[in-house]
């Protein structure tokens, strides 16, 4: 085969590396069928992508190991431009490759992965609170929840307006009212806001 590494070769390599990395590590299929790639997944959500002959010229003839992020975590990386990549000789033993991963890749990749998971969890919690608040606003305003461009808002026809919740969890109300109703609403809002000093 002129030195070509077969697909099942890198699968076996991933399995052996996972074994050397220790408890909780396992191998998994790569992105594409019949391609020279595989994954090694860890106990804390680590996903190490293994590929022979990466895209860069400097990776030619090397085994490229990259710390990857699940689709749901990609947008929450602390440094989206960072690349958590090392290369080793494809002839290196599984023990040697696991040692290089532990020494050169995991110290930078793991903190970034933890931060991405933390941000993802915080965003999910915020979204759940926002969805609950949107439902309450819709009920109080006699409107309904809608979404545009991934941004939820409440529409209500009685006063022809919308309500949005911003990232800092403040609520923006935009209302179109006839003069008399606008003055009444302003008076009520002034009472709610309290006296002004100036």
Within this chain, do residues 109 and 51 fall inside the same structural domain, yes or no? yes
Q: How confident is the model at residue 5 (pLDDT cuts 50, 70, 90)?
A: very low
Mean pLDDT to the nearest integer, 19-25: 97
**Number of compact structural domains in the chain:** 2
Residue 36 pLDDT > 50: yes
For residue 1, tell me if it sits in a domain.
no
User: Per-residue pLDDT tens for 68-79?
Assistant: 999 889 899 999
Within this chain, do residues 28 and 109 fall inside the same structural domain, yes or no? yes
Within this chain, do residues 106 and 135 fall inside the same structural domain, yes or no? no
**What was the pLDDT predicted at 34?**
64
Lowest mean pLDDT among 18-27, 62-71, 124-133: 124-133
For residue 75, tell me if it sits in a domain.
yes
Within this chain, do residues 64 and 103 fall inside the same structural domain, yes or no? yes
Residue 194 pLDDT > 80: no
Mean pLDDT to the nearest integer, 10-27: 95
Residue 198 pLDDT > 90: no
Task: Transcribe the chain into DSSP letters.
Answer: -TTPPPHHHHHHHHHHHHHHH-TT-EEEE-SSTTSSEEEEE-TTS-EEEEEES-SSGGGTTSEEEEEE--TTTGGG-SSTT---EEEE-TTS-HHHHHHHIIIIIHHHHHHHHHHHHHHHHHHHHHHHHHHHHHHHHHHHHT-EEEEETTEEEEEETTTTEEEEE-TTS-EEEEE---HHHHHHHHHHHHHHH-----
Sheet with strand 26-29: strands edge to edge = 26-29, 37-41, 47-52, 63-68, 85-88
| Residue where one domain finishes, among candidates 68, 91, 122 | 122
Within this chain, do residues 101 and 31 fall inside the same structural domain, yes or no? yes
Residue 2 pLDDT > 60: no
Helix (H) or strand (E) run with residue 50 in it? strand 47-52
Within this chain, do residues 71 and 102 fall inside the same structural domain, yes or no? yes
- What is the span of the domain harbouring residue 164? 126-193
| Residue where one domain finishes, among candidates 122, 145, 171 | 122
**What was the pLDDT predicted at 193?**
62
| Residue where one domain finishes, among candidates 101, 122, 143 | 122
Choose between 10 and 102: higher pLDDT: 102
Within this chain, do residues 111 and 158 fall inside the same structural domain, yes or no? no
Rounded distance, CA 66 to CA 85, Å?
A: 4
User: Per-residue pLDDT tens for 42-55?
Assistant: 999 999 999 987 66
Structure tokens at 91: 């002839």
Within this chain, do residues 139 and 94 fall inside the same structural domain, yes or no? no
Residue 33 pLDDT > 80: no
User: Per-residue pLDDT tens for 124-163?
Assistant: 988 888 888 888 878 887 778 887 777 777 777 666 567 7
Within this chain, do residues 75 and 166 fall inside the same structural domain, yes or no? no
For residue 2, tell me if it sits in a domain.
no
Residue 65 pLDDT > 80: yes
Within this chain, do residues 185 and 168 fall inside the same structural domain, yes or no? yes
Mean pLDDT of the chain: 84
For residue 198, tell me if it sits in a domain.
no
Q: Per the confidence metrics, is the pTM higher than 0.85? A: no
Within this chain, do residues 28 and 114 fall inside the same structural domain, yes or no? yes
Contact between residue 40 and residue 9 where contact means Cβ atoms under 8 Å apart: no
Within this chain, do residues 21 and 101 fall inside the same structural domain, yes or no? yes
**What was the pLDDT predicted at 7?**
41
């Amino acid at each position: 085969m002129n030195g070509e590494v077969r697909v099942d070769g890198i699968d076996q390599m991933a399995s052996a590396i996972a074994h050397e990395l220790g408890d909780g590590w396992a191998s998994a299929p790569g992105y594409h069928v019949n391609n020279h790639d595989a994954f090694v997944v860890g106990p804390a959500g680590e996903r190490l992508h293994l590929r022979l002959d990466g895209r860069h010229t400097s990776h030619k003839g090397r085994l490229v190991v990259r710390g990857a992020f699940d689709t749901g975590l990609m947008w929450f990386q602390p440094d989206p431009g960072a690349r958590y990549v090392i290369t080793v000789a494809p002839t290196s033993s599984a023990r040697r490759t696991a040692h290089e991963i532990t020494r050169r890749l995991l110290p930078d990749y793991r903190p970034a992965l933890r931060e991405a998971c933390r941000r993802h969890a915080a965003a999910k919690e915020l979204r759940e609170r926002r969805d609950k608040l949107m439902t309450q606003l819709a009920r109080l305003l006699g409107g309904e929840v809608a979404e545009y461009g991934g941004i939820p808002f409440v529409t209500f026809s009685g006063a022809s307006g919308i309500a949005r919740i911003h990232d800092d969890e403040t609520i923006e109300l935009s209302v179109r009212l006839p003069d008399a109703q606008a003055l009444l609403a302003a008076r009520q809002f002034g009472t709610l806001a309290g006296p002004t000093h100036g």
